[in-house]
Amino acid sequence: MPPESCVYNWIAKAEVDIGSKHYSVTRKPGTSCILNRQAFIAYLGNQAEQVGVQIQTHDKIFSNTELSCEYIVDASGCPSTIKRELGIDHGFKGVTYQQSITDCNVFVSDLVQIQYSEKFGYFWVFPRDPLKKEVNLGIGFIGDFGYNIKQMLEEYKSQRNITGSVEYVVGGLIPLGLQRPFKHRNILFVGDAGVGAFPFSGQGIYRALLSGDTAGKLIASGNAHQYPHMINKMFIKWDMLGKMFIYANYVFRRIDDSLVLYSLNNFISIDDMIHF
């Protein structure tokens, strides 16, 4: 687990709504958190420098031909800069839009809230900085269906009477499940560039940390060639189930939107679906 200085909030409970059904999941103390990513990245950087890693910042890479070393670890996100250049960017993608709202009236420090939509997506409310009563309020879809997701999020805020000051917004593509290939020549793809996000919830930081840790250990031990095998071993089960679910619901939403919620409630158990 990250140090306390890198944690915004410890999460004790998640509430999930799928259509008319409501689920509640509790977590053991000290096992789930909202990460302060900036602080955590600085913490990891300091640790790396203490063992002799040379970190070079503010240097933009324009082509993979500029990179010359024994191994390259690509953590450039979704879509991967190198994969786009090489034309090997494979995998499901979704779209997201998120607002960070301060002085928010629905801020609860230890609670994550998720509401699934019949349009094959979901809304989320994640507590962020408790000093500002800040939440991350977002919307994401499993695929790009041409929705006006900014408008849909504003409608959701209005329906739930969510108030506060929008400090900044982010949005873009989200990789759903494994994004093959995991290794190309001497390049290992980690995080969103490789393992992607959990197909059902969009959770990605935990998976990213696992993939980065695995890549580093295998390179250090001289076993980088084992990286694809190790990634498949860790994630293939949920990747197969997730992609079966995605394919099925692409069909369902063409027939009747309500079938998407029905399949969510019946395809998987809520305990398996929620991963922090």
Task: For residue 100, give the nearest of 128, 123, 121, 124 by alpha carbon.
Answer: 128
The domain in which residue 265 lies consists of 4-273
Between CA 183 and CA 225 the distance in angstroms is 8
| pLDDT value for 268 | 55
Model pLDDT for residues 163-173, shown as the tens digit of each residue: 999 999 999 89
Domain harbouring 152, CATH code: 3.50.50.60
Rounded Cα gap, residues 121 and 260, in angstroms: 9
- pLDDT grade for 83, boundaries at 50, 70 and 90: very high
Confidence of residue 271 (pLDDT cuts 50, 70, 90): very low
Give me the residues paired with residue 135 across strands. 101, 127
Give the chain's domain count.
1
| Per-chain mean pLDDT for the chain | 89
Name the nearest CA neighbour of 175 among 221, 259, 239.
239
Q: Do 122 and 130 touch, CB atoms closer than 8 A? A: no
Q: What is the pLDDT of residues 194-230, one digit of tens each?
A: 999 987 666 788 899 999 999 999 999 999 999 999 9
3-state SS class at 8 = strand
- pLDDT, tens digit (0-9, with 9 covering 90-100), for 6-49: 999 999 999 999 888 898 889 899 889 999 999 999 999 999 99
Q: Which residue from 124, 131, 127 is spatially nearest to 107, judged by alpha carbons?
A: 127
pLDDT band at 270 (very low <50, low <70, confident <90, very high): very low
DSSP state of 130: G
